[in-house]
Structure 1
Amino acid sequence: MITIAFGAATTAAETVEGVDLSAKRAIVTGASSGIGVETARALAKAGADVTLAVRDTAAGEKVAADIVASTGNARVQVALMDLSVRDSIDAFAASWRGRLDILVDNAGIMATPERRTAEGWEMQFATNHLGHFVLTTRLHDALAAAGRARVVVVSSVGHVNGDIIWDDINFERHPYDEWKAYSQSKTANILFAVEAARRWADDGIMVNALNPGRIWSTGLSRHMTVPPASFEPESSDGVTVKDIPQGAATSTLLAASPLVEGVTGQYFEDCQPAVPHTPGLRRGFAAYAVDPAAAARLWQVSLDMIG
């Protein structure tokens, strides 16, 4: 069991205090808003060369300028990538040159109205899982070339609300439900980390997933008009609301801290390895989200979907 002296109140900057990333190259998806910004900022503050992979490059350039100004690290770039558009992902991956030490699969959408990609894929599953699946597998060789590379997959406690709907992932036969679609995409994030960790162990690539925590003040919740009861500062399930720097802490820990060197195929929350989910609590991992057989099944399903 690893010992980590961080918790729910830890900030992203605190997880990498004293860590030198000046020789590292990193990509953070969705780094034009929310916890992606603070994850990128913490990595840049520690000296990493950071690429912000974003849909809105104008917003990304503003964020990059702010990160450069606040960290003094000029090695912050912006690149266009839309995780719901296969050609965009392919173009980004094809343009990458050299090794990749850190990949933070951070971008995501939540509880959106029913939308589909050009391929007909349900948008939340396509963006949150399939897009990152394509990106990460396309960048495998760059990660392997780095030696001891890390992949960080941002999931959510929302995965405990439901397993993958294996017989109808794209809601072609079931009525669309925005929360079922979200939960299955977040379950997929964890299963992807489990299987990638297994497949890529011999390449020295560490892959972990995480729950960033309960954070109201990000664009992820833009389809919700008011905070639900579970977003009260102190709720009955014992979880407190985090600010954005605190929400980015677990991502940054897994991306860069020596405290988790060698850890792979795990699910973290509040900067700690998570425990099995207990009904009634908004914590922990569902058994179906870490099932090796389901993880292998999802990998094949994902390959079949993307062709």
Structure 2
Amino acid sequence: MVPEDPPVQAYKELDPMPDRIVTPFTAASTAADVVDGVDLTGRRAIVTGGASGLGIETARALATAGAEVTLAVRDLAAGAAVADDLIATTGNKYIHVAHLELADRAEVAAFVAGWDGPLHILVNNAGVMAAPLSRTPDGWESQFATNHLGHFALATGLHPALAQAGGARVVSVSSSAHLGSAVIFEDINFERRAYEPWAAYGQSKTANVLFAVEAARRWADDGIAVNALHPGGIRTKLQRHVSEEELEAARKAAGSKAVWRTPEQGAATSVLLAASPLVEGATGHYFEDCNEAEPNVPGSRTGVAAYATDPEAASRLWELSSR
């Protein structure tokens, strides 16, 4: 006699996160899959780093669903070329391009000042990876300044527009590289410790998750949902400072089943958090493979580190970033 399957509740009791948010989508899903059937007509979105890689495919999916999309980019010519392509391929005429240099506080302030009206979706996608040591004029290490501080200033500056929209969503693109380093508050800028590009990148990606945790808490009453994610391994211009040997080593470290994803697949989790009704009401979480991630098991390259969701660290980072 074949035993009956245990009830669903039994599986939930074995799950370390029985309330974990799961969707029908997987690591193989594309941004187009996730947004299929979603109507974003009348909604306005900003995608930073929208002129390359994941940014293009994130913007393409949002535009396909009918959103008005602004590409916030460093290279206006590249942004204009992408905008032309998106208009031609999606039929959406409401694609705009605006200049944004995240490492420059004045540039971020100018972008914020130039925004008018509600903002329904903000995708903090732009970034720099494993770059040689450099500092901003204010003395901040460049990866932390670009990946975290610039996006922090952008999101907090646009907070009134997000609150005005009602039900806005902020998406913070992090990485499994956050597992490489907590935020080292005692020496964020590598002034007393030797600079290591991957440690600096990992620290900035942890900051992206901590931002989502604290913003979700602070902005809950404004109806703003804020979530972070790992997009998976994708070959883009983000890796311009990384050798082929380093990239292959990173892929192998991620596990025997790790494969490079297409940009369309890499953008799927961002688009899920930006647009899908399946995650309505979710805020303060970290996602990977289009589902909420489980806690990281030390030694593995999946899940979210406890230090990246620590509410005390999140509050401390917010106060430091505000200053």
TM class, shorter-chain normalised? over 0.9
SS in 2 for 1:228: helix
CA offset digits 1:172-200 (Å, max 9, x no partner): 11121111110100000000000000000
Quote the residue 1:117 is aligned against.
136
In 2, the alpha carbon distance for the partners of 1:229 and 1:113 equals 19
Quote the residue 1:137 is aligned against.
156
The 5 A counterparts of 1:139-288 are: 139-215=158-234, 217-226=235-244, 227-231=247-251, 236-288=255-307
In 1, the alpha carbon distance for the partners of 2:199 and 2:128 equals 13
Cα separation, partners in 2 of 1:235 and 1:90, compared to 1, 3 Å: closer
In 2, the alpha carbon distance for the partners of 1:116 and 1:26 equals 30
Give 1:238 shift: 3.5
In 2, the alpha carbon distance for the partners of 1:229 and 1:88 equals 36
Judge which range, 271-280 or 53-62, deviates more: 271-280
SS in 1 for 2:70: strand
The 5 A counterparts of 1:21-60 are: 21-60=40-79
Q: For 1:295, which of 285, 291, 314 is the aligned residue?
A: 314
Contact 1:159 1:184 in 2 (8 A): yes
Give the TM-score taking structure 2 as reference length: 0.92
Contact 2:22 2:292 in 1 (8 A): no
Give 1:55 shift: 0.4
In 2, the alpha carbon distance for the partners of 1:208 and 1:273 equals 10
SS in 2 for 1:9: coil
Contact 1:162 1:187 in 2 (8 A): yes
In 1, the alpha carbon distance for the partners of 2:284 and 2:136 equals 29
Judge which range, 85-94 or 172-181, deviates more: 172-181
CA offset digits 1:181-223 (Å, max 9, x no partner): 10100000000000000000000000000000011x2011111
- 4+ aligned runs moved over 4 Å, structure 1: none
In 1, the alpha carbon distance for the partners of 2:290 and 2:314 equals 23
In 2, the alpha carbon distance for the partners of 1:257 and 1:102 equals 12
In 2, the alpha carbon distance for the partners of 1:99 and 1:137 equals 14
Contact 1:238 1:281 in 2 (8 A): no
In 2, the alpha carbon distance for the partners of 1:202 and 1:218 equals 37
Give 1:235 shift: 6.0
Give the TM-score taking structure 1 as reference length: 0.96
Give 1:47 shift: 0.3
SS in 2 for 1:167: helix
Give 1:23 shift: 1.2
Contact 1:22 1:46 in 2 (8 A): yes
Segments of 5+ residues of structure 1 without an aligned counterpart are none
Contact 1:237 1:281 in 2 (8 A): no
In 1, the alpha carbon distance for the partners of 2:22 and 2:136 equals 43
In 2, the alpha carbon distance for the partners of 1:94 and 1:230 equals 40
In 1, the alpha carbon distance for the partners of 2:271 and 2:254 equals 26
CA offset digits 1:43-67 (Å, max 9, x no partner): 0000000000000000000000011
SS in 2 for 1:295: helix
Cα separation, partners in 2 of 1:172 and 1:3, compared to 1, 3 Å: closer
Segments of 5+ residues of structure 2 without an aligned counterpart are 1-18
Larger Rg: 2
Give 1:237 shift: 4.9
In 2, the alpha carbon distance for the partners of 1:54 and 1:151 equals 18
Contact 1:152 1:207 in 2 (8 A): yes
Quote the residue 2:14 is aligned against.
none
Identity of aligned residues (%): 61
Contact 1:237 1:280 in 2 (8 A): no
